[in-house]
Amino acid sequence: MELGEGLPLVVRHMGRVDYEPTWQAMRAFTDARTADTPDELWVLEHPPVFTLGQAGKPEHLLRETGIPLVKIDRGGQITYHGPGQIVVYLLLDLHRRHLKVRELVNLMEQSIIDCLADYGLTAERKDGAPGVYIGGAKIAALGLRVRNGCSYHGLALNVDADLAPFTAINPCGYEGLQTIRMKDFGITDGVAEVGDRLVAHLRRLLPVPQNEPTVSPTPDATPAPDRP
């Protein structure tokens, strides 16, 4: 049996998709949810983009790079998404799973830590700075929005991404914060393989929902650009 097998959770492998329509699709999915809507994980990459959280400070973008900046509704400051970075968006009914926001953040961090441990890498949390770190350098970022008890946005893990764009920002608002990737440690698996491991750990760690309807998931279904 695979890790997490049997959890009533729809996993959508979406490939490389533009950031802004995906964000709008997450919002639309969350707004349209009912008590019978299954939870979903969206697994994907984005073309190069900077995103700035709702309370983010524009001065954390240090110079113009030609990479678009999108102001969004998650918490946190500025971060970068691009090819070679696995992104997982968690569209969950927190009440159904009896999860508090802090518990979900811890769970997301633990899934990344466990995934990296599969590759022999020792990662850790940092007090007051959500995300996952190796030797003080950031390898994964987190960001969430919760509306009506349901989460969206999620996590991003650097697999073999180009790290140069991170030098144009104060990552997550921290001046001089070094960012790293799995490739720096000799890991040769790409985003697809790492994504499968990461999703398996998320499914293993997520609490079993209460009163979730029985559904037939379509693991590789891709939502249309304007709605899931």
> Catalytic residue positions?
172
Q: Give the closest residue to 207 by CA, choosing from 97, 108, 56.
A: 97
Angle between helices 191-205 and 101-118 (to 10 degrees): 130
> What residue type is 122 in one-letter code?
T
Measured CA to CA, the distance from residue 73 to residue 98 in angstroms comes to 23
67-72 contact pairs (CB < 8 A, 24+): 67/165, 67/168, 70/19, 70/20, 70/23, 72/23, 72/153
